[in-house]
Chains A and B, each alone.
Chain A
Amino acid sequence: MKTNDVIFQTVAKVVFFMIIFFAVHLFFAGHYYPGGGFVGGLLTSGAIVLLLLAFDMKTVRRGFPVDFKWLIGLGLLFSAGTAAGSLIFNVPFFTHAYDYFQLPLFGKTSLHTAMLFDLGVYLVVIGVTMTIIQTIGESE
């Protein structure tokens, strides 16, 4: 029996972008407000899980043509690279640096190297969650 869930698929297409934008907001707000890399990554993988529920594994894999195991390595590289980059400037391991910049669209913005570490956490969380869910969902 073929099921036809038009309502669910249409809602999922819209809600996917709402969840993704909320996750990006949580990720960038993490320095001054509740949020950060962990919740942002978890919510991003929640959005991809919603697409997995609405469509199937093959369609989602065509939409996101990345092997999620590579994201774990990339995130660990970002985090370890941020920690080790402080050694170049002759300061202890994990020393962070920040400064204020005049960006064209945002105005006066504080850029912090802790953001790069958080980006690593974000990528690792997405990679681990999606690898677990795809591996369990794949087995018949």
Chain B
Amino acid sequence: MIETVLQLSLLLLAVAMIGLIYRLVKGPTIPDRVIALDAMGVNLVSITAVLSMLLGTSNYLDVILLIGILAFIGTIAFAKFLEKGEVIEHDRDQ
């Protein structure tokens, strides 16, 4: 029973991923694509969680936190590049 539910939720998450890939390819502006990438990171977190429940192991829990942190840093870097044109400034007070 629980296995069927988990497989169904994996299928639905894959469908959501396809929708995000459509927005990533088609998105008219660059912020659309960045938002799609960020949502893909969150989606990947939930796919990893469902997969670790399906496989019955708790060793993937570190991966979940890792994907969350990396998606956060990546989105921040993209947003700063879009706003200021450079990712790492030398001295912001001048």
Contacts from A to B (Cβ < 8 Å): 3, 8, 15, 19, 22, 26, 33-35, 39, 43, 46, 49-50, 52-53, 55-58, 133, 137-138, 140
Please give the number of chain B residues whose Cβ is less than 8 angstroms from any Cβ of chain A in the complex: 21
Asked whether A33 and B69 contact (CB < 8 A) given A53-B80, A53-B87, A137-B88, the answer is: no
- The reply to whether A39 and B66 form a contact with Cβ atoms under 8 Å apart is yes
Min Cβ gap A99→B in Å is 27
Min Cβ gap B91→A in Å is 5
Tell me how many residue pairs across A and B have CB atoms closer than 8 Å.
Answer: 49
- The reply to whether A56 and B76 form a contact with Cβ atoms under 8 Å apart is no
Q: Could you pull out 12 A-B pairs where Cβ atoms are within 8 angstroms?
A: A22-B69, A26-B62, A35-B62, A39-B66, A46-B69, A53-B73, A53-B76, A53-B80, A53-B88, A58-B91, A137-B88, A138-B90
Which residues of the other chain, B, contact A55 by a CB distance below 8 angstroms? 92
Min Cβ gap A23→B in Å is 10
B26 at the interface (CB under 8 A from A): no
Which residues of the other chain, A, contact B59 by a CB distance below 8 angstroms? 33-34
- The reply to whether B69 and A49 form a contact with Cβ atoms under 8 Å apart is no
Which residues of the other chain, B, contact A15 by a CB distance below 8 angstroms? 72
Chain B residue with Cβ nearest A22: B65
- The reply to whether B65 and A53 form a contact with Cβ atoms under 8 Å apart is no
Which residues of the other chain, B, contact A26 by a CB distance below 8 angstroms? 62
Main secondary structure of the interface of A (DSSP, over half): helix
B89 at the interface (CB under 8 A from A): yes
B3 at the interface (CB under 8 A from A): no
B77 at the interface (CB under 8 A from A): yes
Bound Cα distance A15, B69 (Å): 9
Asked whether A57 and B90 contact (CB < 8 A) given A3-B83, A3-B84, A49-B73, the answer is: yes
Which residues of the other chain, B, contact A138 by a CB distance below 8 angstroms? 90
Bound Cα distance A140, B3 (Å): 55
Which residues of the other chain, B, contact A137 by a CB distance below 8 angstroms? 87-88, 90
Chain B residue with Cβ nearest A54: B76
- The reply to whether A56 and B84 form a contact with Cβ atoms under 8 Å apart is no
Min Cβ gap B58→A in Å is 9
Chain A residue with Cβ nearest B72: A15
